[in-house]
Structure 1
């Protein structure tokens, strides 16, 4: 799933529509800001779970429940990715509602919690899929770097990000066809 709009409400609506048409497996491909200092621009992250710091997921899951990917689908993506020669990372994402509003304190907090990336859709993908009883995964291409001790480094339109997006989409298609 790609190109559906920005943010949790947009992805929630798209998943509702896809599931209404009989889709049983959702793989969202998007971009995320790298929080983990080991991640570089253009790296591909298989998001296993998401910190819910947005509003849409709470319409699908109780606040005390985690939003997470289907572990079997993550393993499938990882196996196919390795067959394709991809260097993949696994980790979590902090999902927010508003672009450009992360504070240095928040970034520092989530880095110290071991969160790998920040995005605007992952927790909604997982929550809606969990609620509707379908399998889901999220593939994030690291498009920019957020570090508590540095200025923001955006690279959205640079070649490594574009190339990684193509590889991530190919990975998703191959997993759906497997």
Structure 2
């Protein structure tokens, strides 16, 4: 049976929202958090950020909090990996006031031409998980925000990290990435495989906020072999500054657009 089971889902209101859940669990949707938030998953990377550049955490609910990097950009971690966790975290951040979300995460690559020290910017996600189908109909594409993605790419072009832009394959079945799928997607030019992008893009589109994703390379998957990347360099720390700069660029541009509309009294 396809997901969702109920075909009328897209026109039906939810019983409760992230804002309801936060307020009902002792949180506060009225707290002021940075307008842009980086979502990451690797604890060692997060601990490095905490040690060097974040302010006091801002609690949203229970053990979930945002760590501000500066006045407009924060970072979150401390939850599980995958689409369901990412979708829930995105909903909570949006309910608390976030306007732009960016994954800085890890992925595998399906292309031998992509080096272990490169990065990948996603411009579309193949929806091979479940979360996105509860936000977008099956025929819809899961895509990041074009403007934020362009700004992300521009900042990475100025960085020391070689970067590739292309389609990512989001799957929830880590141990069922089959040879047939890998060969098919590699031949089609798909650049990466990960577990979160499609969910973030779908939630962001549904809620009307901006989203993007950039990944480092943790392993190589081909139809003949799996290279688990034991000797790969973790380049995620090098991805942080370009991502922060792109989020600043985006918020500044969006603010300028809003000022222009307000000043003219029209859109």
TM-score bucket of the superposed structures, by smaller chain: over 0.9
Encode CA deviations 1:126-166: one digit per residue, 9 max, x unaligned.
Answer: 111111111110101111000012x211126x452x2x100
Is the aligned partner of 1:2 residue 2:73? Answer: no
Candidates 164, 168, 171, aligned match of 1:96? 171
Runs of 4+ residues over 3 Å off in structure 1:
none
Kept after mapping to 1: 8 A contact 2:122/2:214: yes
Encode CA deviations 1:61-92: one digit per residue, 9 max, x unaligned.
Answer: 00000000111111101111122333211011
Kept after mapping to 2: 8 A contact 1:48/1:69: yes
Candidates 107, 114, 117, aligned match of 2:182? 107
Q: Which runs of 5+ in 1 are unaligned?
A: none
Kept after mapping to 1: 8 A contact 2:155/2:243: no
Shift of 1:114: 1.5
Distance 1:85 1:74 in 2: 18
Distance 2:173 2:206 in 1: 24
In the other structure, the counterpart of 2:228 is 154
Residue 58 of structure 1 aligns to a residue in which SS? helix
In the other structure, the counterpart of 1:24 is 99
CA 1:7–1:159 in 2, change beyond 3 Å: closer, same or farther? same
Q: How many residues align?
A: 174
Highest RCO, 1 vs 2 (Cα 8 Å, sep ≥ 6): 1
In the other structure, the counterpart of 2:139 is 64
Candidates 143, 153, 167, aligned match of 2:238? 167
Residue 81 of structure 2 aligns to a residue in which SS? coil
Kept after mapping to 1: 8 A contact 2:121/2:214: yes
Which structure has the larger Rg over C-alpha atoms?
Answer: 2
In the other structure, the counterpart of 2:116 is 41
In the other structure, the counterpart of 1:176 is 247
TM-score by length of 2: 0.63
TM-score by length of 1: 0.92
User: What's the C-alpha RMSD, in Å, of the aligned pairs?
Assistant: 1.3
